[in-house]
Chain A
Amino acid sequence: MLIDTERWLTHQPSAALMGALDGVLEDLLRCREERLTEAAAHLVRRGGKRMRPALLFVSSAFGPGGAETDLLRVAAAVELLHVAALYHDDVMDRAETRRGTPTVNAVRGDAEAVTAGTFVFARAMRTLAAVDGTLAAWASRSVLALALGQMQEAENTYNLEHRLESYAEIAARKTAALFELSCRAGARLAGAPQDAVEGLGLYGRALGLAFQAADDTLDVTAPEAVLGKKPGTDLREGVYGLPVLLVLHRRTLEAERLRQVLRRDDFTEDDQEEACHHVQAGGGIAGAFTIAQDYAHQAVTHIAGLPGGEAKDSLARLARYVVTRRH
């Protein structure tokens, strides 16, 4: 999902830190083997939403303040945890492009791409350990959640009976864990009071769930130009997002039709289109947005007790922004 930082981030100190992030990321990825440095830096050089670092910076506004270098290093490390996961995702999905450029796996093969991802992951963890042991421990748990979420998602490929509870668990592990980590880490580094750390953590978690729910609609609704692939590709590959599951769980004609299409052994492009149509007609998209908005609302509630200002406003704006329907 395209998230434009300028649309939500009005907290100036955070915006300033964002400007310094690229250099830190580049520095962090240096290693002896030039080829590995290049592979590892391939994706971060293409920019990206950098939502996690931005969340970290904004969250740091709720404490007396931490050392800028630490904030930058930790924010970069958290972003790298995300990037490492993207490298591995792209290998698993055989993705050919990301952020408008060929993926590392497309250019150099799966083995190098996986290795680069693992390197990025290790470097991120080492950076965290160097700054703050507690953060490293938190991050290790988030990363574990991420790995388990990926696995659970893989297990449920082509699962027409996938339960919504399980879906929510996957989203919490796969997406929300790193959002939560970003918020907590920023608050901790800035020396924020414990209840602020908790509140921001819960905000991050709910925001992650909202983001994932909204993001799930794109596969069905976004045009090919935006997606970089035909709508419904996830459906063809057996990855059933929230809108699909919502329809499947209803006892409607659309649900039955969708089920029938998805069961076809030789799933054609026409089938793909038909399935997308059933998801739309069955109310899947509208339902997913309702859920996303509910999570977004929860997110804002979690930070209600925090002192007001640009930081808080930015977070509230972000929560509304991620659940805005665009297609």
Chain B
Amino acid sequence: MSQAHSRRRFITVAGLALGGGGAVLGVSGAAAQPAEAGVAGVMSMARQVTCSALTEAVAKLRTTGDAGEAARRLMGWYAAASPAERAEIDAAFDAVLSLPGSFASLDTHDRLRLLAKELTGQHESRLTAAIGLAVAGLSEAHTGPGNAMATGRLYARTIRALPSQPARPEQPPRVQPPGKCAPGRVEHAVRERRRGRRRGTGRGSGRLPPGPPRPARHAAGTLGLPRDKSCGDAVNRAGVALLREMDVLRDLPGAYGIGGLEVSMGPTGARTTRAFRYGRAGEDSGRYGLVVPRAVLDDVLVRRAVEAGAVFRQRVQVRGLIREDGVVRGVETAAGERLRARVVVAADGSTSKLARQSGLVDAAKGRLGYAMRAYFTGARELGDTLSFHMPLDNPATHSRLPAYGWVIPLGPGRANVGAGVAEKHPGVHLNELFLRFVAELRASSPWFAAARQEGPAKGAPLFFGFAPGRSWMPGLVLAGDAAGMVNPGTGEGISFALESGKIAAEVVAERLAAGQPEDLAPYAATLTRRFSGHLETGRHAVNRHRLAWRVLEDTFDSDRPVFALTRRAMLAPDHTAGFETTAPGAIDDIRHCLDPKLRLAGDLVEVGEILADTVRKDWPFLERLPGLLSEEYLMAPRPALLVLLAARCGATQPEQGPEQGPEQKPEPEPGQERGLAPGPGPGPRPGLGALAAATDLAGLAAVAQASVDVAPAGRGGRANWGTMFAVLTTDLFLARALELCATQDTALTARLTLAIEEACDGRTRELAAARQDPAPTAGRWLELASASGAAALCAAGCELGAASAGAPAAVVEALGRYGRLIGAAAQLADDVRRLGGGVDRLGRDALADLEEGLPSVPFRLVLEELGARADELAGLRSGPRPREERAADVARLAGRTTALKQTSAWIRELCEQAQETLVHLPEGPARSSLHAIARHVIRNTGACS
């Protein structure tokens, strides 16, 4: 390690923009290692570093979907490890590497668990997963690069081995079991470092490198970087996760925990508000978001960096870059001092001098917005919710601007209030915008009426010109605001800044280790993958953003599925990596239903990757639609899962059991459709993931299509953004689904299109039934619903999966029936959840039912039974009362009827019928899993008798 400390590896230049005194952090190679993650116990340092690097790599994989990249990063890290670290890791991994058989056929989950046990002393799920990736990475090193999918599958198998309830990431320290290797010296150093930090000296390790030309200053209280920066001060969930990873959360005891976000949208004075809660407060308070003044946060971060070995110099004016032969070789200070470094990280803010000097950013062309904020005290009832108000009006013309106002609680009674505008507008002055917003708040919010402004308002520019391809040049990377990494919708930038810093550190460390510090292209590649959809990229960015906001505004009061999903994708600042998901509807986890022998997870990961790829390039923010879905639907009875399960049924030859007479013995299918022959050998065929993804996309298309209004067409007018968006997404998903299928297998294309036709047929009959007089009976509605939407696609999923595996006709048919029944049951279960006072899988509450021209079957029962009293419901659809209260009223009214009980009985009946169809299937893990799913749907909706 001493070698690594002997010279400065790279320097970070920060804080130039605000003129309060620049800062330069010189970071040693060792400090560039990924920060410690939450798996710290009393492990050796090498193990901790292993764990955190692996966890990191896995998190990366999970967010970027690029297993190959994760593995490469992992290998880069491994290559950079010290000999001692390497020996330790090698010893641990030898256990895996020495397993019999090749990696390609590795069935490792149990062995990996054992290995994890050796490393940590217990089943720590994140670590288990991480080690899986390590194995995958090593596997790739052995077999050559380029096999990312195989790597991903391996990783996924490991994830499948996780306990169904993931362990909490932070465990109390535990006794280390007898391990293979545990150099006490390193452990000691870690403890010393930790103690040192707790004392706040930052000197614990005693390893601060001599930073030329004079020793760095790192004593507490004299740091020059923290300054009163104009900023929202809010760190979102992703940011908090990063702070936790850096182990600085405990140094922010005064930070105020945030539990949710409220968005008020519409014209000034007539905005509607929606709340997004992130979860319960409690011992995890602050876990979903924190508010901490930048002065405090920056100070803590600088200390942490110094502690990790960085040399910190403050009040340094940097004049510019040192460039030699087109390569950046350091920076020159205003005092004429030349600080040389192999890589410079420009983190000098939205008006970055270095970025402009480098030519990477053209100040004239960059899109600059502005934000202004002030602190207020005496605001009552602030709560723990951030609130955004948009759009703000142009004071001169009263037309709407791409502008927003915010209120961010800093603690009881104290708030950061501000306004921002995403692009320059002639004649618009930020100061006026800010004052008007404050006046609006005073007028509209009684709790704010008496608030007093503390100190002057402070403004700052926002640079939105994120362009990953222009985020680096040889010897230089741009990070955070300097790279234009700001969310144009909300102005949020802290989490992007933290993460880009981290990515920069990792890439630079890896490149230095590889001896190629000049080629920093992986930085751009990682930024692209990581932030597509969250930050606007490319030249269409502004327009895309405008369309997104138009849709958002036009559909703000609507709970039709695709609008509800889009809203959450755009507004919930939820772009967090890692394993904790708090999707409100994530209660339908059927993981425990799936027999581990099926090894489904690899395919599910592949499906997720395909879904993300589907939209990533074309319409980045949609990336989070399937993303959201997959978080919640990952283990729900959705079309893709049924494709995969059915393919496994088809792949197994039936065993003749006593319940299965010879007449039911499936016949080989006489070429029912072209191209349905099973792949080579038994087992799922290649391309199954694409087929499953295609079926899911067709399901998404149906969801989008069902969001088009049932009411007669409106007459020409401008505000048709919602419908337009629903149709555009329908077409995109359909086209992608068919493209995936048609470029793989003609016969399956025919089957999928047939399924889509049938779903359309069913939908048309539903729509026609709504006009019938007398109205159809509830039983008839149930029948209609089973031929449309989710049920139709689940049926298709089962049939497609079975057919693709070459299953006999009887099995295909039985599975089709199963899919239809279970799909209909799952849909009803979702409806019950909503009407019972909860939220469904799309995050919608009971108010959603009031809006539908074609209500859900349970809601029809409610309407019928309420009779004249149903008028009460109509009054709840809108009104001044908060949404949750009105939704609760709908649920209460529904609760007075027998509708939910009746629906539960139906669900039970449908599931039982579904189970009966399974008798035609060969016995095996796939069949038993399908049984378990049916049982789960019954149990999970309280449909037990």
Q: Are A137 and B727 in contact (CB under 8 A)?
A: no
Q: Are B734 and A91 in contact (CB under 8 A)?
A: no
Q: Are B746 and A152 in contact (CB under 8 A)?
A: no
Q: Are A151 and B618 in contact (CB under 8 A)?
A: yes
Known: A155-B543, A166-B540. A126 touches B750 (CB 8 A): yes
Q: Is A157 an interface residue (CB 8 A)?
A: yes
Q: Are B728 and A122 in contact (CB under 8 A)?
A: no
B853 to chain A, nearest CB (A): 7
Q: Are A35 and B708 in contact (CB under 8 A)?
A: no
Known: A91-B708, A118-B730, A265-B399. A36 touches B761 (CB 8 A): yes
Q: Is B731 an interface residue (CB 8 A)?
A: yes
Type the 1/0 row for B707-727, where 1 means its CB is closer than 8 Å to any CB of A: 011111111111010011111
With both beta carbons as reference points, the residue of chain A lying nearest to B749 in the complex is identified as A129
Within 8 A of B (CB), among A76-135: 85, 88, 91-96, 103, 105-106, 108-116, 118-119, 121-123, 125-126, 129-130, 133
Q: Are B746 and A33 in contact (CB under 8 A)?
A: no
Residues of chain B within 8 A of A154, CB atoms compared:
547, 724-725, 728
| Most chain B beta carbons < 10 A, residue from A109, A110, A115, A126 | A115
Type the 1/0 row for B748-759, where 1 means its CB is closer than 8 Å to any CB of A: 011001101100
Q: How many residues of B contact A (CB 8 A)?
A: 60
CA distance A80 to B746 in the complex (A): 19
With both beta carbons as reference points, the residue of chain A lying nearest to B400 in the complex is identified as A265
With both beta carbons as reference points, the residue of chain A lying nearest to B398 in the complex is identified as A265
Residues of chain B within 8 A of A88, CB atoms compared:
727, 730-731
Q: Are B717 and A94 in contact (CB under 8 A)?
A: yes
Q: Is B705 an interface residue (CB 8 A)?
A: yes
Binds B, one of A140-148, A181-189, A191-199, A300-308: A140-148
Residues of chain A within 8 A of B454, CB atoms compared:
none
Q: How many residues of A contact B (CB 8 A)?
A: 62
Q: Is A31 an interface residue (CB 8 A)?
A: yes
Q: Are A122 and B756 in contact (CB under 8 A)?
A: yes
A256 to chain B, nearest CB (A): 13
Q: Is B619 an interface residue (CB 8 A)?
A: yes
| Most chain A beta carbons < 10 A, residue from B723, B726, B728, B731 | B731
A321 to chain B, nearest CB (A): 30
From B550, B715, B726, B764, A39 is in contact (CB under 8 Å) with: B764
Q: Are B746 and A109 in contact (CB under 8 A)?
A: no
Q: Is A237 an interface residue (CB 8 A)?
A: yes
Q: Are B760 and A116 in contact (CB under 8 A)?
A: yes
Known: A92-B723, A125-B753, A126-B754. A115 touches B739 (CB 8 A): no
Residues of chain A within 8 A of B731, CB atoms compared:
85, 88, 146-147, 150
Q: Are A141 and B739 in contact (CB under 8 A)?
A: yes
Residues of chain A within 8 A of B945, CB atoms compared:
none
Q: Is B735 an interface residue (CB 8 A)?
A: yes
Residues of chain A within 8 A of B618, CB atoms compared:
148, 151
Q: Are B742 and A114 in contact (CB under 8 A)?
A: no
CA distance A211 to B691 in the complex (A): 36
Q: Are A110 and B708 in contact (CB under 8 A)?
A: yes
Q: Are B547 and A35 in contact (CB under 8 A)?
A: no
From B709, B711, B742, A140 is in contact (CB under 8 Å) with: B742
CA distance A108 to B741 in the complex (A): 32
Q: Are B749 and A136 in contact (CB under 8 A)?
A: yes
Within 8 A of A (CB), among B142-200: none
Q: Are B705 and A116 in contact (CB under 8 A)?
A: no
CA distance A155 to B546 in the complex (A): 7
Q: Are A119 and B760 in contact (CB under 8 A)?
A: yes
With both beta carbons as reference points, the residue of chain A lying nearest to B675 in the complex is identified as A133
Q: Are A155 and B547 in contact (CB under 8 A)?
A: yes
Residues of chain A within 8 A of B705, CB atoms compared:
114-115, 118
Within 8 A of B (CB), among A139-190: 139-141, 143-144, 146-148, 150-152, 154-159, 162-163, 166
Q: Is B767 an interface residue (CB 8 A)?
A: yes
Q: Is B738 an interface residue (CB 8 A)?
A: yes
Q: Are A111 and B746 in contact (CB under 8 A)?
A: no
Q: Are A114 and B730 in contact (CB under 8 A)?
A: yes
CA distance A151 to B725 in the complex (A): 9
CA distance A112 to B731 in the complex (A): 15
Q: Is A46 an interface residue (CB 8 A)?
A: no
Q: Are B713 and A148 in contact (CB under 8 A)?
A: no
A233 to chain B, nearest CB (A): 8
With both beta carbons as reference points, the residue of chain B lying nearest to A132 in the complex is identified as B746
B385 to chain A, nearest CB (A): 32
Residues of chain A within 8 A of B619, CB atoms compared:
151
Q: Is A327 an interface residue (CB 8 A)?
A: no
From A31, A93, A103, A129, B761 is in contact (CB under 8 Å) with: A31
Residues of chain A within 8 A of B222, CB atoms compared:
none
Residues of chain A within 8 A of B833, CB atoms compared:
none
Binding site for A on B (CB under 8 A): 397, 399, 539-540, 543-544, 546-547, 550, 618-619, 675, 701, 705, 708-718, 720, 723-728, 730-732, 734-736, 738-739, 741-743, 746-747, 749-750, 753-754, 756-757, 760-761, 763-765, 767-768, 853-854
A–B complex contacts, Cβ < 8 Å, 6 sampled: A112-B767, A121-B734, A126-B757, A136-B749, A159-B546, A265-B399
Beyond A103-B713, A129-B753, list 14 extra A-B contacts (CB 8 Å).
A35-B764, A111-B709, A111-B763, A115-B760, A122-B756, A122-B757, A143-B739, A146-B731, A148-B732, A150-B728, A151-B618, A152-B540, A154-B725, A158-B546
| A-B complex: 10 closest residue pairs judged by Cβ atoms | A133-B746, A119-B760, A126-B753, A140-B742, A122-B756, A140-B739, A144-B735, A147-B731, A147-B735, A36-B764
